[in-house]
């Protein structure tokens, strides 16, 4: 088995969560890498949908944005954005939403809007885009992000995308019928929500990571599920697939810059 980085382990662990039958709304960045690794390995028939309206896209490189021409060129079809959201997303036709986060709390609520006070922010972030609707309308939500105390916080500064609110039945009490966040994959561990409290708990620890490292890079009190296991290391096929698509992406972007 070749050596691998924590980022590679995170991407591959996230990719494994997708099944061949999923219809997945894909976020840009780490979610896009994970979804395309899944498509190129164990889930060749997974349907990847991007916010720009591309359905069944199969990019050879990772897109820079939802408007990347690679998505439209390789899609089975492209629909108008209103149709994407009204018919596909709000119509309940998408099984998984794959999102990233700038700030995340223990209940899977996401902030991608602002750090600090909204009127006088420390940092203005890109905003929600379609993520709030994805978080509410997809059958379930997977989140992937690198661990840091700045990113994983007890309370987020702004609710961009709703997870489980304050926990328990908060999501259902508000009339949201979808499952919400069911998985968090970081560069150190795989987390899943407790079935009752809905707070994320560590389900498996990545090879080479430790409980001390997980706790030092998390801003909330870490809870471990019963029977915590070690995440299975990447296979040669998974690593090769991820590294090949990253290499193709880097080469394409260098050509574009030139």
Walk across the sheet containing 54-55 and list its strands. Answer: 77-78, 54-55, 47-49, 23-26, 96-99, 140-144, 181-185, 189-193, 200-205, 224-230
Cα separation, 163 vs 43, in Å, equals: 26
Rg from Cα positions in the chain:
18
Residue 97 contacts residue 18 (beta carbons within 8 Å): no
Q: Which residues contact 4 (CB under 8 A, 6 or more apart)?
A: 12, 233, 234, 239
Q: How far apart are CA 152 and CA 146, in angstroms?
A: 9
Q: Of the listed 51, 133, 201, 238, which one is catalytic?
A: 51
Q: Token digits for 225?
A: 């599920």
30 touches 11 (CB < 8 A): yes
- Do the Cβ atoms of 23 and 253 come closer than 8 Å? no
Q: Taking the mean position of all CA atoms in its chain, how far away is CA 140?
A: 11
Residue 51 appears among annotated catalytic residues: yes
Cα dihedral angle (151, 152, 156, 162), rounded to 10 degrees? 110
Catalytic residues: 51
């Amino acid at each position: 088995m070749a050596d691998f980085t924590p980022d590679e382990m995170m991407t591959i662990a996230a990719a494994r969560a997708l099944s061949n039958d999923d219809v997945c709304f894909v976020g840009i960045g780490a979610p896009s890498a994970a979804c395309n690794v899944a498509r190129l390995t164990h889930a060749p028939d997974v349907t990847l949908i991007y916010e720009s309206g591309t359905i069944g896209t199969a990019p050879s490189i990772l897109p820079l944005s939802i408007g990347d021409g690679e998505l439209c060129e390789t899609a089975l079809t492209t629909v108008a954005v209103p149709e994407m959201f009204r018919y596909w997303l709000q119509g309940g036709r998408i099984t998984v939403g794959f999102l990233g986060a700038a700030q995340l709390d223990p209940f899977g609520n996401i902030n991608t809007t602002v750090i600090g006070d909204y009127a006088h922010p420390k940092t203005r972030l890109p905003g929600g885009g379609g993520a709030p609707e994805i978080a509410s309308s997809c059958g379930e939500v997977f989140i992937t992000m690198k661990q840091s105390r700045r990113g994983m916080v007890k309370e987020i500064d702004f609710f961009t995308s709703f997870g489980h609110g304050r926990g328990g039945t908060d999501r259902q009490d508000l009339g949201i019928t979808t499952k919400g966040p069911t998985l968090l994959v970081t560069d150190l561990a795989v987390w899943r929500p407790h079935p009752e409290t809905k707070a994320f708990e560590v389900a498996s620890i990545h090879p080479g990571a430790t409980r001390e490292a997980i706790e030092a890079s998390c801003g909330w009190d870490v809870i471990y599920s019963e029977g915590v296991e070690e995440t299975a290391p990447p296979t040669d096929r998974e690593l090769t697939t991820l590294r090949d698509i990253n290499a193709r992406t880097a080469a394409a972007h260098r050509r574009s810059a030139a």
